[in-house]
Structure 1
Amino acid sequence: MLHKIVKKQNNSDKCIVCGDKNPYGFHARFYELDNGELAAVFHTKELQQSFPGRVHGGMVAAILDETIGRAICIDKPGSWGVTTEIQVKYKKPVPLNETLRAVGRITRDTRKIFEGTGELLLENGEVAAEAWAKYLKVAIEDAAGDDFTEREWHYLEEDDPREIEI
């Protein structure tokens, strides 16, 4: 199903998931959708391999963790989460050298804690992995310290899509 993009989220320099200057990372782009979910679009690389031709399961968990954790920003801009628990169910191998999508949503939100679910989708739309995660809400200064600057967290001007199929 096609969903309209409402807003694009920022990227960082060094993050393993969204860092545009991290050669090992996914260079994921995150988009807030018209249905209240968050979508990540990213390309898998040889540097993320476990078994030949497959992305390492830890990298799969990382993209799902980041996608679910960022989803809190849709309704609560400026809120951040520190992961306290994550459960990942691996359903299919995740191939290298493909452009994939992940989607995340918040399922529970309290004053100090939030929870969410997400899926990693293959190019053909099949679900390769599912996750549930729980986060502690924190201020960005508490999570990142004084090193978190506008240089480290920035909007990337790109020719982004207007819609994403989820």
Structure 2
Amino acid sequence: MPETFRNWIIKKDWATINISNVVVGVSALFIVATRLTRYVSQREKEKSYIDSLESQANKLPIVSLLRSDPTFEEGIRPYDHIAPESRSHHFTAGTLQGKGKFAIRHIVFFSTEKMELVVISHVGSDMCGHDGIVHGGLISTLMDELFARTVIPFLPDRNGATAYLHVNFRKPLGANQFVVGKCKVTKLEGRKGFVEGTLETLEGQTVVDGNALFISLKKLVTQKSS
């Protein structure tokens, strides 16, 4: 094969390779741009949804009533004390947060005098057992959180672990609605704190009642799997 023709073939192959690389690169950029656009759009929709729920929550009659009640004080939103980098590993502060789950953080009202807590939450549509019905395990988790938030401020060292949790399911709880948790401390014995409460719909129907015992620990010891 003549040298000039061989060089022409080589140059043509390299040109083809370069064009192919450009096509692959442009396609990859298009895919990345499309996915980024979808991600941004989803985040904007999620933020808009959460902002709407926040607005609805702040307009609820029970929220207005409690804000005007001098015996109750509105507390800081839960989980503010947990560092952002740790929340992804935290069950209630991370895993259960977001659209379709606990989209907004609980609105908390506390009465030190009465040793009572009232919490307004929104339960999303992605935490069901039966279709459209909130999973009982999720409700138990929520009640455990509410009981702990009620009694721990009165325990030594302001910490505590669940010793037992009794939950009675009275009615199915439909998903995607606001709920009201009402809890109170019933007895304090040294490092033990007893608490009881209910979970209700905005219409006042009790869907869950229960009670729990929390024990203040001098040191929380965790066991790691080998």
Where do 5+ consecutive residues of structure 2 fail to align? 1-61
Q: Which letter maps to 1:72? A: V
Post-superposition shift, 1:77? 8.7
1:11 to 75, 78, 95: 78
Normalised to the residue count of structure 1, the TM-score between the two structures is 0.72
**Which structure carries more relative contact order (alpha carbon 8 Å, separation 6+)?**
1
1:93 to 146, 152, 172: 172
Where do 5+ consecutive residues of structure 1 fail to align? 145-166
CA distance in 1, matches of 2:159, 2:147: 11
Q: Confirm or deny: 8 A CA contact 2:196 2:210 kept in the other structure.
A: yes
Q: Confirm or deny: 8 A CA contact 1:114 1:134 kept in the other structure.
A: yes
- Of the structure 1 ranges 75-84 and 115-124, higher mean CA displacement relative to structure 2 is found in 75-84
Q: Which position in structure 1 is the counterpart of 2:142?
A: 63
CA distance in 2, matches of 1:86, 1:73: 15
Q: Which position in structure 1 is the counterpart of 2:97?
A: 22
- Whose strand proportion is higher, 1 or 2? 1
Q: Which has the larger radius of gyration?
A: 2
Alignment of 1:34-73 (within 5 A): 35-73=114-152
CA distance in 2, matches of 1:94, 1:50: 11
- Of the structure 1 ranges 42-51 and 25-34, higher mean CA displacement relative to structure 2 is found in 25-34
Name the SS for the 1:71 alignment partner: helix
Could you say if the C-alpha distance between residues 130 and 52 of structure 1 is closer, same or farther in structure 2, counting changes exceeding 3 Å? same
The sequence identity of aligned pairs, in percent, is 18
Alignment of 1:84-163 (within 5 A): 84-138=163-217, 142=220
Post-superposition shift, 1:79? 1.2
